[in-house]
């Protein structure tokens, strides 16, 4: 089996955001970076697994897979656009995800099982190492959850089930109220959803915002301090397309909230200022397109009411 180079490059980007020396990691794992020269190429799965195992050890993070999966939120926006070009119904989209994993990341698979009122989507892996398998499943679970959230109407949010007694880190990272304790990595969704259309309005929003996010990620603005750059990069990568909450960013940086706030204060900024700066650019971009009402822009930017958005806009 082979793993797409795109997945390895995503992992390297995540590790870089955590200030991991990639050259040392290459040396310790024996992974040859020349294997990544072709962006659409692939490597043997055992090479990827060895590289992943070394990455997990160096990061020393019990929630490595969870945090890595959430870091891929922005990449998930690109995947949902690809899905929308190939399919129109939810059942077709699930089939697309199954084929996508089989072709690019075959160590994890998705299965669908129907019950009377709902269907179960399950993630499984045949990787022998229990720890590596956990992180693989956690990372893919985050990505699939984001894809489902983007495809479905709000009233059809999937019910989540994970095999952990302490699911607090998962509730924070995925921004959900409850996750059931189950026997695996499962999603439960009403059967009627299978025949529904993909949420086209949501897809259209992503289509407009994704280029802006990518442009902001590539921005090399020397006016930002070191911590500001790191926080801003994490915020953009966690966008779905709404900006993440500060606790979600803290999980990624593996630094205490107080330390982050202190460093940002030294750089004459704050999490709120950085978030408002991105929101201001997003709002201007959407208003220039002339396709969205104030109500729509408020929703996209994460405001509960248009009045809250207008109030914030007046203070920018």
212 found inside a domain: no
The reply to whether 133 and 252 lie within a common domain is no
pLDDT above 90 for 115: yes
Structure tokens given for 280 = 């201001």
Cβ atoms of 143 and 105 closer than 8 Å: no
Highest mean pLDDT among 32-41, 150-159, 185-194: 185-194
Q: 54 lies in which domain range? A: 1-60
**Which of 40-54, 68-82, 144-158, 203-217 is the least confident region?**
203-217
What pLDDT score does 309 carry?
A: 84
The reply to whether 273 and 237 lie within a common domain is yes
What pLDDT score does 42 carry?
A: 93
pTM of the predicted model, to two decimals?
0.86
204 found inside a domain: no
What pLDDT score does 220 carry?
A: 74
172-179 — which CB contacts under 8 Å span 24+ positions?
172/247, 172/248, 172/251, 173/63, 173/66, 173/67, 173/70, 173/142, 173/248, 173/251, 174/70, 174/142, 174/145, 175/244, 175/245, 175/248
Cβ atoms of 73 and 108 closer than 8 Å: no
The reply to whether 79 and 55 lie within a common domain is no
Most distant CA pair in the chain, distance: 57
Q: What percent of the chain has pLDDT over 70?
A: 99
pLDDT, tens only, 210-265: 888 888 888 777 788 889 999 998 999 888 878 888 888 988 887 888 999 999 99
Q: At what angle do helices 226-238 and 271-289 cross, to 10 degrees?
A: 50
The reply to whether 43 and 74 lie within a common domain is no
The domain tally of the chain equals: 3
What pLDDT score does 199 carry?
A: 83
140 found inside a domain: yes
What pLDDT score does 264 carry?
A: 94
Q: What does DSSP say about strands 108-114 and 185-190: parallel, antiparallel, or unpaired?
A: unpaired
pLDDT above 90 for 289: no
The reply to whether 9 and 97 lie within a common domain is no
Would you give the DSSP letter of residue 33? G
pLDDT, tens only, 157-172: 899 999 999 999 999 9
Quick one: average pLDDT of 39-60? 93
């Amino acid at each position: 089996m082979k793993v797409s180079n795109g997945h390895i490059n995503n992992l390297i980007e995540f590790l870089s955001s955590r200030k991991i020396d990639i050259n040392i990691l290459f040396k310790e794992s024996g992974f040859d970076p020349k294997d990544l020269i072709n962006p659409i190429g692939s490597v043997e799965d055992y090479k990827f697994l060895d590289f992943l195992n070394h990455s997990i050890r160096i990061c020393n993070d019990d929630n490595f897979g969870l945090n890595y999966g959430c870091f891929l939120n922005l990449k998930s926006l690109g995947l949902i656009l690809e899905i929308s070009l190939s399919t129109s119904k939810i059942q077709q989209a699930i089939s697309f995800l199954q084929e996508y994993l089989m072709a690019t990341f075959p160590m994890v698979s998705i299965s669908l099982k129907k019950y009377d009122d709902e269907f179960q989507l399950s993630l499984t892996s045949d990787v022998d190492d229990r720890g590596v398998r956990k992180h693989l499943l956690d990372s893919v679970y985050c990505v699939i959850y984001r894809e489902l959230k983007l495809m479905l109407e709000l009233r059809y949010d999937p019910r989540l089930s994970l095999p952990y007694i302490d699911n607090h880190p998962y509730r924070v990272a995925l921004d959900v109220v409850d996750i059931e304790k189950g026997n695996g990595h499962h999603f439960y969704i009403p059967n009627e959803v299978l025949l529904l259309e993909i949420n086209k309005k949501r897809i259209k929003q992503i289509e407009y915002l994704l280029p802006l996010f990518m442009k902001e990620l590539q921005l090399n603005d020397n006016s930002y301090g070191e911590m500001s750059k790191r926080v801003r990069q994490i915020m953009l990568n966690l966008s779905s397309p709404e900006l993440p909450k500060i606790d979600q960013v803290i999980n990624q940086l593996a630094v205490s909230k107080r330390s982050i706030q202190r460093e940002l204060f030294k750089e004459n900024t704050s999490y709120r200022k950085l978030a408002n700066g991105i929101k201001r650019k997003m709002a201007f971009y959407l208003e220039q397109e002339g396709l969205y009402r104030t109500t729509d822009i408020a929703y996209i930017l994460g405001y509960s009411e248009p009045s809250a958005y207008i109030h914030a806009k007046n203070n920018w």
